Amino acid sequence: HWRMGIGSSAVAAMLEELSRSYQVHTFIALLKAANFRSKGLLLKLGFTPCPAERFAEFDAEPDELVFLLRAKEVRSGGAEGAA
């Protein structure tokens, strides 16, 4: 079921629900740098790499990446261009 947009749609719906119903305004994703599929999904949804000066505050390991998203920037995750 790769590349059908199912994962991005599910994650986008979760982000929208957290933002709308629970007033979550900032999302943080921590992933292994080698996980290119998750990185693609996060980029598709509008996440951006964490600025280097903030990286340490998330206690990430050397082989991990940190991505951030503000709730107002949430993109829908339809099947078109799926990660």
Type of residue numbered 51: P
Burial class (CB in 10 A: 0-12, 13-18, 19+), 65: buried
Tokens of residue 25, six digits: 């305004």
Buried b (16+ CB within 10 A) or exposed e, 38-50: bbebbebbbbeeb
Q: Pick out the chain residues at pLDDT < 70.
A: 1-2, 73-83
Q: What is the pLDDT of residues 33-56, one digit of tens each?
A: 999 999 999 999 999 999 888 888
